[in-house]
Structure 1
Amino acid sequence: MSKSTIQKLPASLLVCLSLMAPQSPLQAEGQTHHYDHVKLHSSASAEVENDTLIAVLYAQKEGSDPGSLTDSVNRLFSQAVSEAKGREGIKVQTLGYQTSPIYRQQSLTGWRVRQSIRLQSTHSDRLSKLLNQLQSTLALDSISYAISPAQREKVEESLTLQAIEAFRKRADLVTKQFGRNAYRLVEISIQASDRPVQPLRMRANMMALEGASAAPTLAAGSQTLRIEATGTIELQLDR
C-alpha cells in the first residue's frame, strides 16, 4: 500500500488502521494477529422534544411525638394520592417514607417524618394544574422533563437505521480507497448515547405556594438522542 493511496482518504474520516507486519518468530506463541482490519465509527442524532413532565412533592412534619407526626403525614398523603389518582393521564408513585431524629448540641430534641410522591404525565397542562392544587399542603421538591418510552423507542429505531447506513457507506468508501473489491464485517456495537435531563431542585422559599391562584409556568425543552455504531471491518484480498 503506497503513501499516496492513504493520503486520498478524507481528513474528516475517523479511521483507525491496523495493517500489521508479518509475525516475528520471536513473538510469543499463541498470539493471534488480524491483518487488514479497519476500525470505523459512525453516529446519527436528533433533537427530540421532551414530552413527559415529572414532579416530586413531599410532606414533612417535625415535633416531639413520632406517632402524631406519622398520622399527620399519612392524612396529607392520603388526600394527595386520592386527588392525583382521580386525574386522567397522571401516573402516581409513592416514594420513601422516613422517620429520623433531630439533634441539637448532641441532644435529641424531636423527630422528623417525611414522605414523597412522584407524579408523571405526558399532559403537562393537567399535571401543572394538579401541582398548583397540591402545593397548598405538599412541598415541591423537584421538576424535570423526559422523553416518553414510546417516543424514545420510535426515534432510536430511526436513528439506528441511519447510523448503520452511515457505517456501511463509510466502510464502502474505505474499501474503495484502499483498492479492495469487498470487505467483511468483523464486529459492530450499536448503542444509544444521551444525557438525561437532571431534575430541577426547588429552593426552600419556592416549595410551598399556598394560596397560589395560577399554575406554574413550565418549559419542556428538548434532548439530543444519539445512536453510535462502532465496529471493525476486514478488507478482503482481490481474487
Structure 2
Amino acid sequence: MIKIQAIFTAVFLLATIGINDAVAHEDETHYDRIQLSVSATAQLENDTMVATVSAQEEGSQAAQLSTLVNQRIRNALELVKKHPQIKHQTNAYSSNPIYNKNKITGWRVSQSLRLESSNMALMSDVLGKLQADLALQSMQFTVSPASKDKQDELLIDEALEAFSKRAQQVVNKLGRRNYKIVDINISTSGGRGIRPQYQMRAMAMDAESSPAISAGEQTVTVTVSGKIELE
C-alpha cells in the first residue's frame, strides 16, 4: 500500500511539474517578433458567360399553358444540346394565379433555362437564336475555376517572394543576423464574382438578335501575412 502511494505521489509531482512548465512556457514573453503582410494583385479577364432565358405564358387554362411552356423549353434544349461546349440546366418551373378583385382570372406559367460557356462567340450566337422564342432575363460574366486557380498559383509565388524580401529587409535594417517564421497565412480573394451585363425582366429582343458582349475584368489578390522572429 505504501509503495502504491509513493508511485502515485511521484506521478502527481511529475504531472504538476509538467503543468507548471506548460504554464511558464505560455507566459513566456517573446521579443523581436514582427507581423508582416504583403499582397500580389492581377487583373483577370472574365472568360465565362452565364445567361438565363425564359418562357412565359398567360391565360385561363393552366394545363394548356404548361404544355406551351414545356414545348418552348424543349425546343430550346434541342438547339443547346447541339453544342456540347454550352452547359445547360433548367431552373424552377412556376405556375401562379392571376387575381382580379380577389378572384382568380387566369394563370401565369413560366420556366427558365440557365446556360454557361467559355465560348462567348458561340453563346452569343445561340442566345440570338433562342431569343426568337424566349426572353433573355440576364447575362453575366465570371472567371472560370481553372483560370482562377492558375492565376492564384502565380500570385502565391509572387506574394511569398515579396514576404521573404520584406522580412529580409527588416533583418538588414535592424542589424540582425537572420529571422525565422513563427506563423504564416495565405489568403486569396476576387476572381469568382459575377459581373452583370444584362438584367432584364421578361423582355424579349428581336429574333436572331445576338447581344453585344463586353466581358470585362476582375481583380484577383493573394495576401501573405505572418509573424517572424528576429535572431
| 2:141 and 2:197 in contact (8 A); partners too | no
Aligned equivalent of 1:223, options 213, 218, 229: 218
Where does structure 1 differ by over 6 angstroms across 4 or more consecutive aligned residues? none
Change over 3 Å in CA distance of 1:106–1:163 after alignment to 2: farther
Corresponding residue for residue 169 of structure 2? 173
Structure 2 CA distance, aligned partners of 1:50 and 1:156?
15
* Residue 127 of structure 2 is aligned to residue 131 of structure 1: yes
Q: Report percent identity of matched pairs.
A: 40
Mapping for residues 82-231 of structure 1, pairs under 5 Å = 82-194=78-190, 196-204=193-201, 207-212=203-208, 214-231=209-226
Mapping for residues 16-95 of structure 1, pairs under 5 Å = 33-95=29-91
User: Could you list the per-position Cα deviations for residues 22-60 of structure 1 after superposition, in whole angstroms to 9, with x for gaps in the alignment?
Assistant: xxxxxxxx7565432211111111112221111111112
Corresponding residue for residue 5 of structure 2? none
TM-score (norm 1): 0.78
Corresponding residue for residue 228 of structure 2? 233
State the SS of the aligned residue for 1:217: coil
Larger Rg: 2
| 1:137 and 1:210 in contact (8 A); partners too | no
- AA matched with 2:93: Y
Change over 3 Å in CA distance of 1:82–1:181 after alignment to 2: same
TM-score (norm 2): 0.80
Q: CA RMSD in A?
A: 2.0
State the SS of the aligned residue for 2:195: coil
Aligned residue pairs total 205
- AA matched with 1:184: K
Structure 2 CA distance, aligned partners of 1:73 and 1:114?
6
